[in-house]
Amino acid sequence: MNIADKTRFEEIASVYPRLRIGVIGDFCLDRYLEIDPNRREVSIETGLQVYNVVNVRAQPGGAGTILNNLVALGIGEIHPVGFCGMDGEGYELRRALSAKPHVFLDHFYSTDQRRTFTYCKPLLVEPGKAPVELNRLDSKNWTPTPRPVEEQLIQAIQALAPAMDALIVLEQVDIANTGVVTRGVLDVLGAIAEQNPNLLVIADSRRGLRGYPKLTLKMNAAELSALTGAPASTNLDDLKQTASSLAKKHQRRVFVTLAEKGIIGADPDGRVEHVPALPIRGEIDIVGAGDAVTANLASALAAGATLKEALQIANAAASIVIHQLGTTGTASVAQIRELLFG
């Protein structure tokens, strides 16, 4: 897709309402506490400053951020595979997911054996100023995911995969085997990808992708270096060579996000594409940009986009998201169209 080829963009986007995409991973609750710093108060009991919360809002985070972007793109069916706890946060997360159009919760489980992964984000909000995030309060699981929960997830993936146009995998936890993407789940995904070579299965992990089966891999430059053992580099040619070598070895596509330098995509056949980042248009907040890239790469490729076309669409989506402050943003087809074509 030439950046000026609006017709080709419309052809790709027109397929989105017919796509069925599964999202397998660590869904969490993003809870924002909006604090008015002008409502100053000191606790009589402790003498400490009180932060007065004037608004609370919640939305799906983690793998839910990818889901939010798929919803914004108008994907026809979105099937989350994951779990939440039987707690207040789990109730909020399920309610937020169920409110999204075209989201089917048949394989999203509530369990008393896990707590709901939660990011609680206090924000100082003042008129005319960008929100300022204070220290986050996280709630996570620190023990291995129980085998019965893992088995339920595996059975869901096996049942779901044959009907999907793409699967997206996101591991958000810091400690291996404490979330959705356990070793057993990865083994099943590897077998599915091997048995169905035309099914796009794209994976991203905040812990890095070492030990992952032969899936399409998406990472940043630091994760590329850690995975391959190549020296950390900011040189574009070096990064393209490393990504290409990994794609050939892995026999799957590799995507590398480069922040202000854009995105690299490499095919197993040796083809490598690079799309530079779009210019900054004001204050930015990079939270959620990587998940927007993942959602748009998967959607565009499943809709028949070429490697370069998918990179250009995903790059535009990331540019839109980073300009949304105080939230984990999304990019719609209309927003991407406006940015690319005016």
Local confidence band at 2 (pLDDT 50, 70, 90 cut-offs): low
Q: What is the pLDDT of residue 233?
A: 86
Alpha-carbon distance of 4 to 6, in angstroms, equals 6
Cross-strand pairs, 205? 171
Neighbours of 329 (CB within 10 A): 24
- Average confidence (pLDDT) over 208-236: 95
In angstroms, the CA 23 to CA 50 distance is: 39
pLDDT at 3: 57
Angle at 191 between CA 186 and CA 197, to 5 degrees: 115
Cα–Cα distance, 333 to 336 (Å, whole number): 5
Q: What is the pLDDT of residue 314?
A: 97
Q: Cα separation of 258 and 240, whole Å?
A: 11
| DSSP assignments along 251-289, one per residue | TS-EEEE-GGG-EEEE-TTS-EEEEPPPPP-S----TTH
Gap between the Cα atoms of 115 and 336, Å rounded: 36
- Structural contact between residues 178 and 140, judged by C-beta atoms closer than 8 angstroms: yes
Determine contact, residues 78/102, Cβ cutoff 8 Å: yes
Confidence of residue 86 (pLDDT cuts 50, 70, 90): very high
3-state secondary structure of 316: helix
Sign of the alpha-carbon dihedral angle for 177, 183, 186, 192: negative
Inter-helix orientation angle 6-13/333-341, to 10° = 170
Structural domain spans, the chain: 16-214
Beta pairing class for 166-171 and 20-25: parallel
pLDDT at 324: 86
Q: Give residue-wise pLDDT tens across range 118-138.
A: 999 999 999 988 889 999 999
Q: What would the CATH number be for the domain defined by 16-214?
A: 3.40.1190.20
* Total residues belonging to the chain: 342
Residue labelled with tokens 């999204």: 100
Q: Tell me the chain's radius of gyration from C-alpha atoms.
A: 20
pLDDT at position 74 over 90: yes
Distance between CA atoms of residues 95 and 92, nearest Å:
5
Model confidence at 308: pLDDT above 90: yes
Average pLDDT over all residues of the chain: 95
pLDDT band of residue 5 (cuts 50, 70, 90) is confident
Do 169 and 291 form a contact (C-beta atoms < 8 A)?
no
The token duo for 121 is: 């984000």
Q: What percent of the chain has pLDDT over 70?
A: 98
Check whether 315 has a pLDDT greater than 80: yes
Q: What is the mean pLDDT of residues 252-264?
A: 95
